[in-house]
Amino acid sequence: MTPEDDQKFEDTFESKVADFNQQASEEVLAVEKEIAKLRDPTVHAALLFMSVREKENANRLMKNIYARLDQLEAQLKTIESRIGKTGTRKAAPSAPVVPAPMLAEVDQRIVGYIKEHGPTSA
């Protein structure tokens, strides 16, 4: 690097630092203005008012949700009462159903005869 390049680099570096310092001071001033606004009692009152309004809206929504849940609960109770009246509710199985064993036709006739006439001997 030549001394001229070094000088150019220092000039650009110094100008960038100066630009950064200027932008930083502008940002600091903006933040200080916002802090000053927060010290104002009217800002506090406005924030509290907005908070109260949001709380009221949330309560209104919760009230609507609870009302809808109550409606659904009432509908469920009416459906349950209808099911209870018609007896369409499944009863608990008393004993498992065992399927009949597959028998040949001749054996099925023998079993049918025994069911009709009672015990017999060959």
10-22: b (≥16 Cβ within 10 Å) or e: eeeeeeeeeeeee
Task: Flag whether the pTM goes above 0.75.
Answer: no
Tens-place pLDDT, residues 18-62: 889 999 999 999 999 988 888 888 988 999 999 999 999 999 999
Joined together, the tokens standing for residue 105 give 């036709």
